[in-house]
């Protein structure tokens, strides 16, 4: 059975789908079945063989036709108009919420609005207004600031595209302890992403730092060196090296080889 990886709608969310007897190539738009009903996506991998079925793999319904592509383009335009309308209605209802995104379902039976807010929002009257205007089912979905950054995208302090918008599917917990163990300055602007939360890379790099930092002395610890006893003033986990002050202005670097 051949499967391909598909980017769902215009997002970076991906899933594997069976193509059955369809002839596909990377970049093709296809019509698929998703949790929200009939939907669309773009193929971003060559077909690969799936030896045995793992869970329930859905099938591609068909390659997108010219009419499908026109509808997808029209939906994008309609979503921009719906976004502006919803912003006006939010202001009219004086709701303390920030609209960050809008999208139509493929068949236009539903309009989905994404927003951020500090607490719970009573948007029942807003939904009634929007349903009258768009004559479709309205869904309001509250998201966090990390999800907002993922939707908008951008570049991190490393100069690369944001991990959340490029490849991360789920947000792992990130703690200040991870920053401490990676010997990073505990300065919020230095260790925070565009979303204002701790950078996601602290989480998935944490295990590597833990492994490399095993059996290394901590900063401030007194250790023996070939030149005498001294105090550790700096630890470079990636190099497995420590800088030791042995007094009278002398410092020596000790390299720890990984154990076999």
Which tokens is 48 given? 């690969």
The pLDDT tens digits of the residues spanning 203-220 come to 888 888 888 888 888 888
Tens of pLDDT along the chain (260 residues) come to 789 989 888 877 788 899 888 888 999 999 998 877 889 999 998 888 876 555 577 889 999 999 999 999 999 999 999 999 999 999 999 999 999 999 999 999 999 999 999 999 999 999 999 999 999 999 999 999 999 998 888 898 888 999 888 888 778 889 999 998 888 888 888 899 989 999 998 988 888 888 888 888 888 889 888 888 899 998 888 888 889 998 888 899 888 876 65
Backbone angles phi, psi at 62, to 5 degrees: -170, 165
- Whether residue 217 lies inside any domain: the answer is no
Spatial distance between the Cα atoms of 181 and 206, rounded to a whole number of angstroms = 8
Are residues 176 and 161 located together in one domain of the fold? Answer: yes
Confidence at residue 55, expressed as pLDDT on a 0 to 100 scale:
58
CATH number of the domain residue 131 falls in: 3.30.300
Task: Give which of 68, 23, 22, 20 is closest to 41, Cα–Cα.
Answer: 68
- Whether residue 150 lies inside any domain: the answer is no
Rounded to two decimals, what is the model's pTM?
0.75
Confidence at residue 52, expressed as pLDDT on a 0 to 100 scale:
58
Are residues 49 and 74 located together in one domain of the fold? Answer: no
- Whether residue 104 lies inside any domain: the answer is yes
Contacts of 249 (CB under 8 A, 6+ apart): none
Confidence at residue 138, expressed as pLDDT on a 0 to 100 scale:
96
Quote the domain boundaries for residue 127: 70-143
Spatial distance between the Cα atoms of 136 and 155, rounded to a whole number of angstroms = 36
Are residues 161 and 123 located together in one domain of the fold? Answer: no
Is the four-CA dihedral 68, 69, 74, 77 of positive or negative sign? positive
Confidence at residue 90, expressed as pLDDT on a 0 to 100 scale:
97
Backbone angles phi, psi at 252, to 5 degrees: -130, 150
- Whether residue 13 lies inside any domain: the answer is yes
The pLDDT tens digits of the residues spanning 25-64 come to 999 999 998 877 889 999 998 888 876 555 577 889 999 9
Last residue of one domain, picked from the residues 121, 143, 165: 143
Are residues 205 and 227 located together in one domain of the fold? Answer: no
HEC per residue, the chain? CEEEEEEECCCCCEEEEECCCCCCCCCCEEEEEECCEEEEEEECCCCEECCCCCCCCCEEEEECCHHHHHHHHHHHHHHHHHHHHHHHHHHHCCCCCEEEEEEECCCCCEEEEEEECCCCCCCHHHHHHHHHHHCCEEEEEECCHHHHHHHHCCECCCCCECHHHHCCCCCCCCCHHHHHHCCCCCCHHHHECCCCCECCHHHHCHHHHHHHCCCCCCCCCEEEECCEEEEEEEEECCCCEEEEEEECCEEEEEECCCCC
Contact 163, 201 (CB under 8 A): yes
Confidence at residue 40, expressed as pLDDT on a 0 to 100 scale:
93
């Amino acid at each position: 059975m051949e499967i391909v990886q598909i980017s769902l709608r215009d997002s970076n969310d991906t899933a594997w789908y069976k193509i059955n007897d369809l002839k596909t190539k990377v970049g093709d738009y296809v019509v698929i079945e998703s949790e929200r009903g009939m939907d669309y996506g773009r193929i971003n991998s060559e077909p690969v063989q799936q030896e045995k079925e793992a869970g329930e793999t859905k099938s591609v319904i068909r390659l997108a036709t010219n009419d499908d592509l026109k509808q997808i383009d029209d939906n994008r335009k309609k979503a921009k108009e719906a976004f502006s309308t919803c912003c006006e209605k939010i202001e009219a209802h004086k709701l303390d919420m920030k609209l960050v995104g809008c999208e139509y379902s493929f068949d236009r039976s539903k309009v989905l609005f994404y927003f951020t807010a500090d607490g719970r929002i009573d948007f029942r009257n807003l939904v009634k207004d929007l349903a009258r205007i768009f004559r479709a089912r309205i869904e309001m979905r509250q998201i966090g600031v990390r999800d907002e950054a993922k939707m908008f995208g951008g570049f991190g302090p490393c100069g690369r595209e944001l991990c959340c918008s490029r490849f991360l599917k789920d947000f792992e917990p990130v703690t200040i302890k991870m920053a401490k163990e990676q010997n990073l300055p505990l300065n919020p602007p230095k260790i925070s992403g565009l979303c204002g939360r701790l950078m996601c890379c602290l989480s998935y790099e944490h295990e590597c730092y833990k492994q490399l930092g095993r059996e290394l002395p901590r900063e401030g610890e007194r250790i023996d060196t070939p030149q005498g006893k001294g105090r550790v003033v700096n630890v470079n986990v990636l190099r497995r090296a420590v800088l030791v002050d042995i007094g009278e202005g002398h410092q020596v670097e000790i390299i720890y080889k990984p154990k076999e």
